[in-house]
Amino acid sequence: MSRLGRVVLVGAGPGDPDLITLRGAKMLAKADVIFYDELATNELLDHAKDRAVLINVGKRGHDEPTRTQDEINSLLLEHARQGRTVVRLKGGDPLVFGRGGEEMSLCAAAGIPFEIVPGVTSAVAALAYAGIPVTDRRHSASFAVVTGHKDPSRVSEQTRWRALGQSVDTLVILMGMRNLPRLVGELLAGGKSPETPAAAVMNGTLPEQRTCVSTLGELAAVAEREGISAPAVVVVGDVVGLRDGLSWWERQPLFGRNVLVTRASQQSAELAAALRSVGAAPVLEPMIEFSEIEDPVGQAKIASAIAMLDQTQSIVFTSSNAVRFFARALESIRGEGGVSASGLAGIHTFCVGERTAQVALAAGFPVHVVATGRSDAEALLGQLLQSPPAGGERVLIPGSQIARTLIADGLRAAGAQVDCVTFYENRRPDIDVAGLRGRLMRGELHALTFTSPSTVDHFVECLDDESREAAGQCMIAAIGRTTARQLESVGFRPDVVPSRPDVSVMVEELAAAVKGD
């Protein structure tokens, strides 16, 4: 008999991908199959392992799903019975108007093991991001969360709107925008004062968040006038009055600004998260991608470099990608025999910056020297030449086919025998050129970020005269001096070059520059 798998119901949170729980992220990383609803952002799916099967079942609010509930139920059981770990990813908290209980009841009846990982519900989170607490001892000691999904004239006997308005201090309504005028009418008919503070928060926790504040009597008209629509959370109660002092998200320095992220898709998560933390909306348009060497000649050169490690005194890593691809090659060729990915015994290891050093240490490599100051190739070369290599000392520098030769040239001039070996390819991916030009010319991109000279080159290749002029109106950030010089060489002056090449520092300085602009 085949081993049963299991189903894990995971709450995706209210929209901001950083609000998923640690347990939820771990389960996504372990899943063989992920069934997901229409999420506010698909960045959560980046937690999935490469071989995971991702299935969009398309359920969101009032919209018709791409699959019926019966189809979803059947697929969950089918994959679990085949021994797979299945994650059912649902927005917000899956047990708050999410039918998660129904799906897990099905698993229980079928004898399928299951687990429920709660999520952060938008009923609380969207309001928190708008500066509205659901309770506050000065104003509210109770709250209720109800769905406004159905026509209140038909469900009023089940959801006693008129009584509910008088029963709790704070009323939170999910999925209520379509029926908002009728819902307000029911509350007023139940005796709720039309002067009660009320608000609607659209796209809560996201950079696109919009909030309208009104009285209950005017809420439907104000929301329509200000273009507030689903998905939105409605709140009624005196706690709305705290928003003026507690609104924090919409005051972030980059709130609502679209920032282009040109970094490779495998490495964009850290930069995107840093941008979101200051309110920006990351626009992911990778300008580079990395791949292993496939041609036999290149593979032979890699194998030769690995074979010569016993005769190599030093290795220089000029990027985190160099570390990753070197580690893969090392493990593939030598495995657990001899020098393995767990260490480079007897070889001095040099890294161009803190991030590269962190990746090297995570791969099990010793790190002897890290470039200080600006943490770039020039800085590392300067440190290496403070104690010049002995004549004939063999140095390996793994890199891409377009890697700079500054460190290699400097070490050779000092008497070292340097092997620059291509361990991976740096390519231009398929880019939506028309879409990029359109966003630039419509003024939809407020800032552009570049993390390597290659991202600059590939970006410029996409531009025509009009979009190039529009790009020049954006604020531009370069990760370091090398990238900044490349921008200047193609006619763009970077507004931000961080004190050290770190994406978090770059975003901090970009936010400061925008704030002071």
Catalytic residue among 175, 202, 287, 475: 175
- Residues in Cβ contact with 272 at an 8 Å cutoff, skipping those fewer than 6 apart: 43, 261, 282, 284
Q: How many helices (H) and strands (E) does the chain have?
A: 20, 20
Judge whether 376 and 452 are in contact, CB under 8 Å.
Answer: no
Q: Does the annotation count 517 as an active-site position?
A: no
Query: Which phi-psi region, left, alpha or beta, contains residue 335 (left: φ > 0; alpha: ψ -120 to 50)?
Result: left
Q: Determine the residue type at 332.
A: S
Q: Check if 59 is active-site.
A: yes
Q: How many Å apart are CA 470 and CA 324, to the nearest integer?
A: 36
Q: Angle 503-516/268-277 helices, nearest 10 degrees?
A: 30
Sign of the dihedral through C-alpha 223, 228, 231, 237: negative
Neighbour-count burial for 282-306, b at 16+ CB within 10 Å, e otherwise: bbebbbbbbeebeeeebeebbeebb
> From the candidates 16, 27, 32, 37, which is the catalytic residue?
37
Catalytic residue among 16, 27, 32, 59: 59
Beta-strand runs (E) in 25-142 = 33-36, 53-56, 85-90, 114-117
List, in order, residues 6 or more apart from 453 with CB less than 8 Å away. 482, 483, 485, 486
DSSP 242-278: GHHHH--GGGSTTTT-EEEE-S-GGGHHHHHHHHHHT
Candidates 170, 423, 213; CA nearest to 299 is: 423
Instruction: Give the residue ranges of DSSP H helices in 116-160.
Output: 122-129, 152-155
Catalytic residues, by residue number, are: 37, 59, 175
